[in-house]
């Protein structure tokens, strides 16, 4: 069998967007991904759907896999002909033991690449507003491990030479040794008033920064109960934080927000959460697809075959627009056959989706729901007219019922169906239990129901109780009502049923609580 190949990839410091393009390419092409938690679980969603994911970190029923075992695992997988990505936090060459892994691969004549990552030594301080160099303050920096015991530190570090070697000193994994580190630096020439910063879980939602001086930092750490893991920065550049701190000023800083939309739609909401300083955590609970039953397909074909008979085509979602046009293509229906019809849309995004296809819908309702649509169209709707409603299989019955009551003939067609996503997440339950998910966003009633079902499948005996530790934010009153009927406490409901409205409500909630 042909040997496979191993990519030894640095995933960056935690923020999934800080992986390199080369690293992302390797991840997406691999048959197998070997990872630990420091690599960031959200990156795993970039792997192929059929890729094998092997976790080598610590689980409740198993200790962390030893380095020798990981080395052997990489070899075994490659000898099976697989393309493998070993996903490691930070940069694999900075205290990442990549040399041991690469050496064994080399011994077995297995092709490999080392893909550098952004090391926490520079990224974490940057996210705290601290550049490790500055033209007027520090022209060089050193990166030192602080993880060893004091006697081992003394064997590996020449304190007398290190202390004055560079303007900035960056210690990784040294919180427990902060007293000894500060003592040695002062002993060998650094002034007691030298600024020090400790940044915990930098680039992630849990990011915390503690500042002080060499003289008082140990006491400050003790008083604050400051825990590892953290990066320690020593030097005058720490003073830059007072003016350069940036991410902490964003309204959703420090908040990890669960995004439950379908994978195809999640990206926009995630991008906007990221822009507001939050950390989006995608766990799609629904998927949309063309109806599988022949009965539903025949109903669509028959309805589109009468295109010239409609006075209205009413679309209530972006999905409805997308699948409507996919059906036109599948059935060979020319949009010009709807020449009699006027198009109406619920919500600005639905209207934009129509406009992108050259169709300007009627005036938008002030309320971005079906109820608002009828109010906006008002006198334009008359008894005897015929309306086509291309929708999803879970769409509310209110609109066709009201149209019928007003004397119109409402023709409903399911142009797509919504199904539960077949996804699992090895970390989500624990994150919810530990309060590491700060908010959950729901953009439809189906996302509410399917998240609860997914959590139950993953082992949560009472999903509603589990979600009681986080804030629930809903895109509109219909979704909020579904959440409440399922035992959830809704903390924020958008005033307008749009993503902007949802994020405004969420931001206001945190600002009010802060």
Is residue 190 a contact partner of residue 234, using CB atoms and an 8 Å limit?
A: yes
Which residues make Cβ contacts (< 8 Å) with residue 146, sequence separation at least 6? 153, 171, 172, 173, 174, 175, 177, 178, 181, 232
Whether residue 15 lies in the annotated active site: no
Diameter of the chain by CA atoms? 92
Whether residue 431 lies in the annotated active site: no
Catalytic residue, from 5, 31, 82, 173: name it: 173
Phi, psi dihedral angles at 173 (to 5 degrees): 60, 45
Catalytic residue, from 17, 58, 187, 456: name it: 58
CB atoms within 10 A of CB 158: 11
CB atoms within 10 A of CB 342: 18
Per-position b or e across 258-279, b if 16+ CB within 10 A of its CB: bbbbbbebbeebbebbbebbbb
Catalytic residue, from 15, 31, 36, 425: name it: 36
Output the six-digit token pair for 375.
Answer: 């109010």
Strand partners for 492: 473
Whether residue 255 lies in the annotated active site: no
How far is the C-alpha of 471 from the C-alpha of 511, rounded, in Å? 13
CB atoms within 10 A of CB 2: 6
In 458-498, where does DSSP find H-type helix?
463-466, 477-485
Is residue 454 a contact partner of residue 465, using CB atoms and an 8 Å limit?
A: no
Which residues make Cβ contacts (< 8 Å) with residue 154, sequence separation at least 6? none
How far is the C-alpha of 469 from the C-alpha of 46, rounded, in Å? 28
Sort strands 471-474 and 5-10 into parallel, antiparallel or unpaired. unpaired
Strand partners for 200: 208, 230
How far is the C-alpha of 483 from the C-alpha of 490, rounded, in Å? 7
Output the six-digit token pair for 25.
Answer: 């390419």
How far is the C-alpha of 395 from the C-alpha of 497, rounded, in Å? 16
> What are the catalytic residues?
36, 58, 173
């Amino acid at each position: 069998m042909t040997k496979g190949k191993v990519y030894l990839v640095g995933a960056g410091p935690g923020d999934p967007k800080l992986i390199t393009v080369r690293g992302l390419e390797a991840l997406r092409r691999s048959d197998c991904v070997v990872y630990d938690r420091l690599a960031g679980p959200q990156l795993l969603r970039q792997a192929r759907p059929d890729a094998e994911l092997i976790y080598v970190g610590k689980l409740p029923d198993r200790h962390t896999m030893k380095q020798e075992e990981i080395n052997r695992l990489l070899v075994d997988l490659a000898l099976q002909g697989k393309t493998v990505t070993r996903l490691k936090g930070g940069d694999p060459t900075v205290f990442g033991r990549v040399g041991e892994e690469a050496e064994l691969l080399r011994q077995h004549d297995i092709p490999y690449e080392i893909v550098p990552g952004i090391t926490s030594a520079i990224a974490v301080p940057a996210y705290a507003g601290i550049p490790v160099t500055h033209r007027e303050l520090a022209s060089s920096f050193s990166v030192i491990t602080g993880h060893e015991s004091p006697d081992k530190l003394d064997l590996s570090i020449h304190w007398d030479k290190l202390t004055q070697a560079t303007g900035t000193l960056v210690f990784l994994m040294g919180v427990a040794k902060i007293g000894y580190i500060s003592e040695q630096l002062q002993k060998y020439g650094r002034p007691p008033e030298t600024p020090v910063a400790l940044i915990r879980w930098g680039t992630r939602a849990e990011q915390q920064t503690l500042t002080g001086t060499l003289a008082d930092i140990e006491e400050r750490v003790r008083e604050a109960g400051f825990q590892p893991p953290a990066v320690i920065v020593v030097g005058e550049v720490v003073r830059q934080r007072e003016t350069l701190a940036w991410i902490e000023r964003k309204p959703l800083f420090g908040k990890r927000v669960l995004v439950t939309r379908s994978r195809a739609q999640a990206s926009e909401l995630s991008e906007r959460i990221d822009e507001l300083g939050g950390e989006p955590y995608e766990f799609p609970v629904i998927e949309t697809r063309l109806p599988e039953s022949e009965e539903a397909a025949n109903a669509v074909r028959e309805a589109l075959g009468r295109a010239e008979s409609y006075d209205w085509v009413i679309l209530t979602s972006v999905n409805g627009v997308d699948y409507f046009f996919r059906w036109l293509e599948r059935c060979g229906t020319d949009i010009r056959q709807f020449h009699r019809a006027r198009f109406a849309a619920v919500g600005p995004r639905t209207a934009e989706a129509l406009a992108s296809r050259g169709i300007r819908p009627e005036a938008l309702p002030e309320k971005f729901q079906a109820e608002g649509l009828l109010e906006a169209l008002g006198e334009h709707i008359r008894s005897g007219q015929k309306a086509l409603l291309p929708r999803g299989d879970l769409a509310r019955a209110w609109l066709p019922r009201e149209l019928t009551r007003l004397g119109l003939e409402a023709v409903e067609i399911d142009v797509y169906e919504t199904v539960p996503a077949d996804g699992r997440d090895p970390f989500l339950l624990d994150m919810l239990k530990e309060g590491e998910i700060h908010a959950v966003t729901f953009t439809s009633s189906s996302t509410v129901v399917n998240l609860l079902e997914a959590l139950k499948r993953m082992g949560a005996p009472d999903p509603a109780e589990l979600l009681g530790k986080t804030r629930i934010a809903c895109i509109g009153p219909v979704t909020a009502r579904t959440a409440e009927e399922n035992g959830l406490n809704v903390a924020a409901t958008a005033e307008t049923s749009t993503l902007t409205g949802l994020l405004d409500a969420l931001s206001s909630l945190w600002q009010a609580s802060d």
